[in-house]
Amino acid sequence: MWVGTYPRAGIGTEPGRGEGVWVVDLDPATGTLNRPRPAVETPAPSFVVAHPSGRVVYAVAEDDPGTVTAFAVDDEGALSAVATVPVGGAHPCHLLLVEDALYVACYSDGVLAVLPLTPDGAFAPEVLAAPGPARTFTRAGSGPVTDRQEGSHAHFVALTPDARHVLVSDLGTDELRRYARAADGTLTDDGVAATLPPGTGPRHVAFAPDARHLYVVGELDAAVHVLAWDAASATGHPVAAAPAVDAAHAGGAAPSPSHVLLEGDRLLLGVRGADVVTTYPVAADGSLGAGTSSPLGGRTPRHLDVVADWTVVALQDSHAVVVLDHDGTEVGRAPIPSPACITRVR
């Protein structure tokens, strides 16, 4: 697995002090993590994605101004930078790779950037010539939590199940922004797909397998919101919400949900502050059952993934990646400085 990291002193500190992308091996039979090792040094690669070819890896530099770097993967798994391009926004924090385009969410100023790619995963000639994105989109707005919602904060980019739209969760405006997507990957601003209750702070998004529901993490209200999704109009309407932490683990530090992931009939949510992973059963109709929270034995779950049926969690402030069984038991751990993102090697 590739592991993106923050500077060792943490988010918000000056990038470029030795952090980079790491790689670590997971034993699919036991969940054990082996041979954590740096693959390349690069500033604040807090989010990383791999091209389907397995020959290119993209990493943000979460800085102002922000950039994205394309790395070539050699036969030994080492990374070497091929090109770095500006994204036209500040502090890029999420990447979505869809066919021949890379979409970038920039947190500090709410910018969504579009970086076209060639079939082999290189930045398209127009991106390199500019250098920079083919298009950028911004949105004005704010929310009631004045110290966090003073303006737009793009946090996550999602593709709708029919691939006709791209959604951006905007923590600052309590909205899911909507962009119509053409066959060539270009986008057109198409308004707002959903408005969440004031002060929600939508962070990350996952669609249900039935394509009729989606789950939106409220970072500020510490809840998972279930939205009914209408594909014809590309709109969502809140129908229910569930707390981010179960009753047994509530009452401690203020919970701050981070990444949500749907895996089969389970919805998995990492929650900072409480430092747990909460698992919700997902019914056939898309509704969520009561969540069960499992302590992580470490601080600040930033991102998670399910690899070979194991839940792998990046514990940013404990400088470790951990592996959990279905019941929340830790079966593996590897030391990695300030891990922020986990991406499977293709």
- Residue with structure tokens 């923590």? 171
The verdict on pTM exceeding 0.85 is: yes
Shortest CA distance to 242 belongs to which of 182, 286, 210?
286
Q: Are 17 and 6 in contact (CB under 8 A)?
A: no
Shortest CA distance to 57 belongs to which of 40, 35, 36, 32?
40
Domain ranges of the chain: 1-41+306-346
The pLDDT value given to residue 198: 98
Maximum Cα–Cα distance for the chain, whole Å? 55
Q: Are 214 and 236 in contact (CB under 8 A)?
A: yes
3-state secondary structure at position 129: helix
- Residue with structure tokens 């250098």? 131
Residue 276 tokens read as 């747990």
The pLDDT value given to residue 12: 76
Phi, psi values for residue 316, rounded to 5° = -55, -50
The pLDDT value given to residue 17: 79
Q: Are 110 and 152 in contact (CB under 8 A)?
A: yes
Give 9-52 pLDDT, tens digit per residue.
777 778 887 899 999 999 999 999 999 999 999 999 999 999 99
- Residue with structure tokens 């083919």? 134
Query: pLDDT means per 10 residues in the chain (346 residues)?
Result: 91 84 97 96 97 96 97 91 98 96 97 96 97 96 97 98 97 98 89 98 96 97 98 97 95 93 96 97 94 96 96 97 95 97 91
CA distance 89 to 115: 13
- Residue with structure tokens 């951006």? 168
Residue 18 tokens read as 């030795």
The pLDDT value given to residue 11: 76
Q: Is 312 left (phi over 0), alpha (psi -120 to 50) or beta?
A: beta
The pLDDT value given to residue 67: 98
Distance separating the N- and C-terminal Cα atoms of the chain: 9
3-state secondary structure at position 266: strand
CA distance 59 to 84: 9
The pLDDT value given to residue 252: 81
Residue 317 tokens read as 């402030």
